[in-house]
């Protein structure tokens, strides 16, 4: 079963107070399309005028329907994008993809060769351009805590510095081709057994910073990745995708990440209303995006300004990133 145990669900059932943020403008007609924002800083006032044009339904749909794609909003000049797995070359959840297969990340890390990692990322980026793909759900950068780790093949090493340096090189190669690379799974996704049923992960801050967060920190600082994927893990009692300390305070404010965050594949304890107010921008909801739409609309009825500002910021994070892809090369 993919249902979380009751003690996990209880951790997410606590009510929060309504937001005191001001309600943003919705549905304005300011005559702007996305390409008008190319090259502008995230906090440029023109972004506010552009984002004011979205309706609530558009923003909620955009966030909830983020599995392997981002949606088009034709009237605002927003193109759709295609996002695909995986760490050893492009693959797809639903059907085979005719794409190059690369050695697993363990093999790449064993070379200790940054140039080779760059060339692999570059090759994936070139393939993405040829196939009309804009995002790559890779590289995986969690830690080999044990040789029996069920997902070790997607991760580089037991060493956080080696993991971070090789990942940064691979991302530089891919993003130099104008695509979005999603470093994953942020964070503490170092056990595959029961990973999708609500694992509660406990660690002190020293261990987190020196081992489990270190590859991601190195990668952000050495390669400025455009994407990140949050993990299934519940760190303490907060799912990683609803953890503002992790996604906003550490990832964005402390390290300087300025791309967007997608969830991993959505299971029952991963709720969109909690995600959009904590720095997780898209829900990789393969099976039930309509449920997350419903949850967001219900949450909006209870806390209109909080949810409205959350989905607005999420959509802006994504659009700001898309503007840096090859779709908007001059």
Residues marked as catalytic = 264
Distance CA 104, CA 172 (A): 18
Q: What's 78's DSSP letter?
A: B
Q: Tell me the CA distances in angstroms from 287 to 43, 192, 193, 283, 315, one per residue in order.
A: 34, 21, 21, 11, 21
Tell me the C-alpha to C-alpha distance, in Å, between residue 75 and each of 19, 69, 72, 325: 30, 18, 9, 20
Task: Judge residue 146's burial from the number of C-beta atoms within 10 Å of its C-beta, 0-12 exposed, 13-18 middle, 19 or more buried.
Answer: exposed
Give Cβ neighbours of residue 93 (< 8 Å, ≥ 6 apart).
Answer: 68, 85, 286
Spatial CB neighbours of 47, under 8 Å, sequence gap ≥ 6: 37, 40, 316, 320
What burial letters (b/e) apply to 251-277, b meaning 16+ CB within 10 Å? bbeebebbbbbbbbbbbbbbbbbbbbb
Are residues 3 and 268 in contact, defined by beta-carbon separation less than 8 angstroms? yes
Q: List phi, psi (to 5°) of 42.
A: -60, -35
Contacts of 99 (CB under 8 A, 6+ apart): 89, 90, 91, 127, 131
Residue with tokens 């995006």: 289
Distance (Å, whole) CA 163 – CA 105: 9
């Amino acid at each position: 079963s993919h249902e979380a145990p009751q003690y996990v669900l209880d951790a997410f059932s606590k009510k929060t107070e309504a937001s005191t943020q001001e309600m943003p403008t919705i549905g304005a007609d300011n005559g702007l399309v996305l390409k008008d924002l190319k090259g502008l800083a995230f906090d440029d006032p023109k972004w506010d005028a552009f984002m004011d044009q979205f309706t609530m339904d558009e923003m909620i749909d955009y966030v909830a329907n983020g599995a392997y794609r981002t949606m088009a909003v034709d009237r605002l000049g927003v193109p759709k994008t295609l996002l695909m797995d995986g760490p050893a070359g492009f693959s797809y959840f639903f059907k085979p993809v005719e794409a190059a297969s690369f050695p697993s990340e363990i093999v790449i890390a064993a070379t200790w060769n940054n140039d080779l990692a760059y060339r692999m990322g570059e090759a994936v980026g070139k393939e993405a351009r040829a196939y009309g793909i804009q995002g790559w759900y890779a590289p995986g950068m969690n830690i080999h805590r044990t040789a029996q780790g069920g997902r070790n093949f997607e991760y580089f090493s037991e060493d956080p510095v080696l993991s971070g340096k090789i990942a940064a090189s691979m991302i530089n190669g891919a993003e130099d081709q104008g695509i979005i690379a999603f470093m994953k799974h942020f964070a503490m996704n170092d056990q595959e057994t029961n990973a999708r049923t609500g694992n509660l992960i406990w660690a002190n801050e020293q261990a987190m910073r020196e081992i489990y967060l270190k590859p991601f920190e190195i990668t952000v600082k050495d390669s400025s990745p455009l994407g990140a994927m949050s993990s299934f893990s519940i760190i303490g009692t907060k799912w990683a995708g609803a953890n503002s300390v992790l996604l906003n305070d550490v990832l964005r404010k402390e390290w300087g990440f300025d791309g967007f965050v997608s969830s991993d594949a959505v299971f029952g304890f991963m709720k969109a209303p909690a995600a959009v107010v904590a720095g997780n921008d898209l829900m990789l909801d393969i099976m039930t995006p309509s449920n997350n739409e419903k949850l967001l609309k219900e949450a909006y009825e209870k806390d209109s300004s909080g949810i409205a500002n959350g989905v607005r910021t999420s959509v802006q994070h994504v659009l700001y990133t898309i503007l840096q892809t090859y779709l908007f090369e001059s």
